[in-house]
């Protein structure tokens, strides 16, 4: 956890988009439109409306959801977490009108437990995960997240970390690249792409997004290039997830968030690809199951579900929203509410 870029009470420090610009030109405060905002507000309202409620925004981004929640709930205290220094800087300015109720911490979401401990908070009423890449990360060519720009192969959300996409592309073995492309990008042609990358890097280091996109396109059979959008999409997603250890962070952060919720507390998760959504589904389903031995007429004490699902499956955005903000199209929302304390706290 890095607290050098944090804001509390006004003390400030330095291909799926979480927030995108509306097409109609009606730019809201802060300049970006949070994905599925009204649904997020609706789901969290019963939990965070109580006096003194605390909500954790575990992927703060541009602070759009945070701003709307603070505006809607005048006594809400918000703890915002993000690894990107730009996100912390931007949200510090955006949330300045609510500074007395805001704590911003530069950290990775899997440090959530430490962030709460440092803030002196044991239990919270709400947690929001807005996963994926924010629009500035996609739109700023120099960050190297997008195949639509020619830029250095970077893809770091935390610009201070050492691992970059360039290192992965030029140093991982064929087997390692194949695994990443298959597991994180769900790329059917993963072995072909990995082999061509290693062949081309032996001639000259691959250092730009444009060159990598060209290699991927060449590796994928022509028949497969005709559908599914840009053929580099899956490879870029896979590299981004590897560089930022996104799934590993979620695998730690989501259970920690569920553990931190008080009875009546709610978690909302916005994911942008099937791997994130699958992990979310598994974590929430595990907490909503009766763990009694099979065949019993009623749950055994201590084995009842601790959470209940608030959504039926994964909810997509409306057609109206995706027309206004195309980057929201891949979003899927799941939510759950704590209904019982853990056994050791009963």
pLDDT per position as a tens digit, 52-72: 999 999 999 999 999 999 999
Last residue of a domain, one of 243, 273, 291: 243
Q: Which residues are annotated as a binding site?
A: 63-65, 82, 130, 137
Interval 259-283 mean pLDDT = 96
Specify whether the CB–CB gap between 240 and 10 falls below 8 A: no
Query: What CA–CA distance (Å, rounded) separates 335 from 221?
Result: 39
Indicate the residue among 189, 208, 243 that finishes a domain: 243
Planar angle of CA 290, 259, 247, nearest 5 degrees: 95
pLDDT band of residue 343 (cuts 50, 70, 90) is: low
Residue range(s) defining the domain that contains residue 205: 142-243
Same-domain status, 124 and 252:
yes
230 with 121, same domain: the answer is no
Task: Give the per-residue pLDDT at 301.
Answer: 72
pLDDT value, residue 230: 84
- Assess whether 202 and 253 both reside in one domain: no
**The pLDDT of residue 10 is above 70:** no
Q: Give the model's pLDDT for residue 317.
A: 95
| 140 contacts: CB under 8 Å, gap ≥ 6 | none
Q: For residue 115, give the CATH number of its domain.
A: 3.40.50.150
Model pLDDT for residues 245-254, shown as the tens digit of each residue: 999 999 999 9
Shared domain for 91 and 155, answered yes or no, is no
Name the pTM for this structure: 0.86
Residue 29 scores a pLDDT above 50: no
76-94: pLDDT as tens digits = 999 999 999 989 999 999 9
Q: Tens of pLDDT along 134-191?
A: 655 555 666 767 777 789 999 998 889 999 999 999 999 999 999 999 999 999 999 9
Binding site as annotated, residues for S-adenosyl-L-methionine: 63-65, 82, 130, 137
**Predicted pLDDT at 13:** 32
* 132 and 8 co-located in one domain: yes
Pick from 162, 159, 141, 158: which is nearest to 150 by CA? 141
Task: Clarify whether residues 290 and 256 are in a common domain.
Answer: yes
3-state secondary structure (DSSP) of residue 185: coil
Q: Which of 89, 91, 114, 86 is nearest to 102 (CA)?
A: 91
**340 and 268 assigned to the same domain:** yes
The residues facing 80 across adjacent strands are 57, 104
45 and 67 inside one domain: yes
Q: Answer left, alpha or beta for residue 47, where phi above 0 means left and psi between -120 and 50 means alpha.
A: alpha
- 24 and 43 assigned to the same domain: yes
Does 104 lie in the same domain as 17?
Answer: yes
CA distance linking residue 285 with residue 271, whole number of Å: 16
Lookup: tokens for 127? 């947690």
- Domain match, 65 and 176 both: no
Average pLDDT (4-9) is 44
CA-CA distance, 25 to 112, in Å (whole number)?
36
Which are the contacts of 289, defined by CB distance < 8 A and separation ≥ 6?
305
Q: Do both 173 and 224 map to the same domain?
A: yes
d(CA 37, CA 72): 12
Number of structural domains found in the chain: 2
Predicted local distance difference test score (pLDDT) of residue 31 = 45
Tokens of 128: 């929001």
Q: Which pLDDT value is given to residue 148?
A: 74
Q: What is the mean pLDDT of the chain?
A: 87
Structural domain ending residue among the three candidates 208, 243, 278: 243
> pLDDT band for position 292 (50/70/90)?
low
DSSP state of 152: B
- Residue 169 maps to which CATH number? 1.10.150.170
- The structure tokens listed for 74 are 């005048």
């Amino acid at each position: 956890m890095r607290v050098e870029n944090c804001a509390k009470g006004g003390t400030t420090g330095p291909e799926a988009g979480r927030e995108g610009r509306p097409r109609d030109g009606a730019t809201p405060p802060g300049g970006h439109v949070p994905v599925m905002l009204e649904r997020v507000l609706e789901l969290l309202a019963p939990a965070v409306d109580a006096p003194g409620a605390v909500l954790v925004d575990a992927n703060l981004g541009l602070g759009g959801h945070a701003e709307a929640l603070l505006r809607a709930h005048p006594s809400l205290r918000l703890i915002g977490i993000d690894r990107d220094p730009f996100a912390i800087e931007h949200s510090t300015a955006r949330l300045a009108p609510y500074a007395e109720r805001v704590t911003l911490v530069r950290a990775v979401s899997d440090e959530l437990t430490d962030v709460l401990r440092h803030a002196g908070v044991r239990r919270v009423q709400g947690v929001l995960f807005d996963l994926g890449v924010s629009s500035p990360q996609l739109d700023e060519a120099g960050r190297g997240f997008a195949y639509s720009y020619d830029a250095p192969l970077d893809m770091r959300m935390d610009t201070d970390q050492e691992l970059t996409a360039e290192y992965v592309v030029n140093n991982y073995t064929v087997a390692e690249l194949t695994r990443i492309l298959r597991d994180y990008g769900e790329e059917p042609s993963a072995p072909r792409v990995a082999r061509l990358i290693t062949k081309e890097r032996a001639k000259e280091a691959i250092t730009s997004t444009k060159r990598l996109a060209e290699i991927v396109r060449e590796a994928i059979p022509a028949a497969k290039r005709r559908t599914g959008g840009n053929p580099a999409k899956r490879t870029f997603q896979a590299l981004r997830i590897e560089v930022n250890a996104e799934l590993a962070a979620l695998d730690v952060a989501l259970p920690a968030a569920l553990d931190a919720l008080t009875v009546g507390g709610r978690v909302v998760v916005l994911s942008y690809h099937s791997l994130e959504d699958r992990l979310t589904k598994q974590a929430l389903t595990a907490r909503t199951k009766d763990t009694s031995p099979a065949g019993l007429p009623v749950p055994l004490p201590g084995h009842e579900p601790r959470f209940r699902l608030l959504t039926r499956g994964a909810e997509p955005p409306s057609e109206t929203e995706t027309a206004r903000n195309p980057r929201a199209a891949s979003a899927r929302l799941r939510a759950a509410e704590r209904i019982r304390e853990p056994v050791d706290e009963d």
